Structure 1
Amino acid sequence: MLNYAIIFLVIALVAALFGFGGIAAGAVGIAKILFFIFIVLAVVSFLFGMRKGR
């Protein structure tokens, strides 16, 4: 999922470079959503991993 966030971030940067504002804004929005979902899943996995280790 982090891979998708990075891909959409690159798409947004390329679109912004060429001046396609709507495409860049959409790609940045998708990248932000995927990034935060990834962070939440990573924290949950970490917490369950610590709990299982006890």
Structure 2
Amino acid sequence: MLKWAIIFFVISLIAGFFGFSGVSAATATIARVLFAIFLIVFLVFLIMAVMAGNAVL
């Protein structure tokens, strides 16, 4: 998911460079949403891993 967020961010930068502001804004929004989803999933797995580690001890 992080890979796709980076890809959309790069597309947004390229589109912005060439003057396609609508495409740039849309891909930037997609990249932001994907990064937010990635961050939420990462934090959930991090919390689950810490809780599993504490259960083993």
Rg (Cα) greater in structure: 2
How well do the aligned residues superpose, as a CA RMSD in angstroms?
A: 0.4
Q: Runs of 4 or more off by more than 3 Å in structure 1?
A: none
Structure 1 counterpart of 2:21:
21
Query: 1:32 Cα deviation (Å)?
Result: 0.2
Give 5+ residue unaligned stretches, structure 1: none
Query: Any idea what the Cα deviations from partners look like across 1:15-54, whole Å, max 9, x if unmatched?
Result: 0000001100000000000000000000000000000111
User: Percent sequence identity over matched residues?
Assistant: 43
- TM-score where L is the length of structure 1: 0.98
- TM-score where L is the length of structure 2: 0.93
Partner AA of 2:4 in structure 1: Y
